[in-house]
Amino acid sequence: METIANKIDISLTTNSRISELEDGLNKFGRIFSDHMFVADFSDGEWSDARIIPYNDLSLSPATSAIHYGQSIFEGMKAYKNEEGETLLFRPKENIKRLNISAERMCMPDIPEDLFYDGLKQLLDIDKDWIPSAKDTSLYIRPFMFSTDSYIGVKPSDKYKFMIFTTPVGGYYTEPVKVKVETHYTRSANGGVGFAKAAGNYAASLYPAKLAQKEGYHQLIWTDAKEHKYIEESGTMNIIFVIGDKLITPSTSDSILDGITRDSVLILARDWGYNVEERKVSVDEVVEAAKSGNLKEAFGTGTAATIAQISLFNHKGFDYELPSIESREFSNQVSLYLQEIKRGKIQDTHGWIVKL
Ligand SMILES: *Cc1c(COP(=O)(O)O)cnc(C)c1O
């Protein structure tokens, strides 16, 4: 596969937009770095790997991804350490998951070194776009979509794999208020909820919009069958501290297996917390909130990292959670993740990849 590495064609911009970097930090994901990586799949193989100036694509109106949704993505971040080196957090997990999503959506596997070589060279070329201020990073969006121009429903023969990046500040600026959704469904057993497939997010917009009208930021999704068990929150996994235990729904085919979630659970176990991955009923969380046993609740994800939940609504009742300052575990893990990702503390888990 080394051959692909040598074949990345590079064409640099003559008109850098780096002066927009500061502006980008205030508008999550709206300003894009100077270059993007592109590779095309056809006749059963990947070819034409290239880095070109970030620009619009030209596509047939019959492009199958637009009609039938063979489209998947990943989300990761690059950070700068004090020496100005570029650090990635557990990038192997992203390529692994991208290929899990690809398989479910009948899309081709992306070779690890195509992904890495493209990513590394792109980050090297656009390294000045990696911000270094507190709470900032360069968000990386690898994605693949089908490109056959054909209106029959079938797996496409052609695909594009691309990576672009966008400098970002914080995602949520305040703790989030969430509503437990007991009517609409994000994903069901046997479906595609475990894949980072574009359509999952489209399906979530309408119920989320209804909750936003009522004053909540996000939903807590429940199982499709009974709406009794908690799944995840918006585009984050969810973790509760009840009494002295960390409790979170086990992953399944209806839950996205988050890398942040996994990292948080590993750290919790390292630190001697009692961690339970199992079914978590809404009733259990409501009972814990009523009795004062619910100490912490937070979402985990690459974009938001640790998003504190200040309140949740269930069947018309709002349940307030303890103050953010009182939340020992999530404050500790949030700080730890911030520091390890920026190379400020020793990486004892082999999570950090230095470019
Ligand atoms: C991406 C995502 C997450 C979080 O995954 P991370 O790997 O931690 O970024 C959780 N839920 C959904 C639905 C997601 O799309």
pTM: 0.96
Residue 282 binned pLDDT confidence (cut-offs 50, 70, 90)? very high
pLDDT for the residue numbered 172: 64
Q: Which residues make beta-bridge pairs with 37?
A: 51, 163
Distance 140 CA to ligand 1 centre (A): 14
For residues 31 and 115, the answer to whether their CB atoms sit within 8 Å is: no
pLDDT for the residue numbered 141: 98
Distance 196 CA to ligand 1 centre (A): 8
Percent of the chain with pLDDT over 70: 97
pLDDT for the residue numbered 2: 46
pLDDT higher than 50, residue 341: yes
- Phi first, then psi: give them for residue 97, nearest 5 degrees: -70, -35
Domain ranges of the chain: 4-168, 176-341
- Closest residue by Cα to atom 13, ligand 1, is 235
pLDDT higher than 60, residue 71: yes
**Four-CA torsion 120, 345, 32, 19, nearest 10 degrees:** -110
Which of ligand 1's atoms lies nearest the C-alpha of 186?
13
Q: Is 235 in the pocket of ligand 1 (CB under 6 A)?
A: yes
Distance 200 CA to ligand 1 centre (A): 12
Average pLDDT over residues 132-145: 94
Distance between alpha carbon 335 and the CA centroid of its chain, in Å? Answer: 19
Distance between alpha carbon 21 and the CA centroid of its chain, in Å? Answer: 22
| pLDDT per position as a tens digit, 145-192 | 999 999 999 999 999 999 999 999 877 678 999 999 999 999 999 999
Residue 26 binned pLDDT confidence (cut-offs 50, 70, 90)? confident
Rounded CA separation 136/146 (Å): 32
CATH architecture label of 4-168: 2-Layer Sandwich (3.30)
Three-state SS string over the chain comes to CHHHHHCCEECCCCCCCHHHHHHHHHCCCCCCCCEEEEEEEECCEEEEEEEEECCCCCCCCCEHHHHHCCEEECCEEEEECCCCCEEEECHHHHHHHHHHHHHHCCCCCCCHHHHHHHHHHHHHHCHHHCCCCCCCEEEEEEEEEECCECCCCCCCCCEEEEEEEEEECCCCCCCEEEEECCCCCCCCCCCCCCCCEHHHHHHHHHHHHHHHHCCCCEEEEECCCCCCEEEEECCEEEEEEECCEEEEECCCCCCCCCHHHHHHHHHHHHCCCEEEEECCEHHHHHHHHHHCCEEEEEEEECCCEEEEEEEEEECCEEEECCCHHHCHHHHHHHHHHHHHHCCCCCCCCCCEEEC
Q: Is 304 in the pocket of ligand 1 (CB under 6 A)?
A: no
Report the candidate in 290, 279, 277, 276 with the shortest Cα–Cα distance to residue 321. 290
Average pLDDT over residues 56-71: 97
pLDDT higher than 90, residue 133: no
- Closest residue by Cα to atom 14, ligand 1, is 235
Q: Which residues make beta-bridge pairs with 229?
A: 281
User: Which amino acid, 140?
Assistant: I
Residue 239 binned pLDDT confidence (cut-offs 50, 70, 90)? very high
Which class would CATH give 176-341? Answer: alpha beta
Average pLDDT over residues 209-224: 97
What b/e readout covers 278-295, taking b as 16+ CB neighbours within 10 angstroms? eebbbebbbebbeeebbb
For the chain, give the mean pLDDT.
95
pLDDT higher than 50, residue 1: no
| pLDDT per position as a tens digit, 72-94 | 999 999 999 999 999 999 999 99
Average pLDDT over residues 345-352: 96
Distance 301 CA to ligand 1 centre (A): 5
- Which residue among 143, 235, 254 has the greatest number of ligand 1 atoms within 8 angstroms of its CB, and so is best to mutate? 235
Determine if residue 343 is left, alpha or beta; phi over 0 gives left, psi from -120 to 50 gives alpha, anything else beta. left
Average pLDDT over residues 223-235: 96
pLDDT higher than 90, residue 234: no
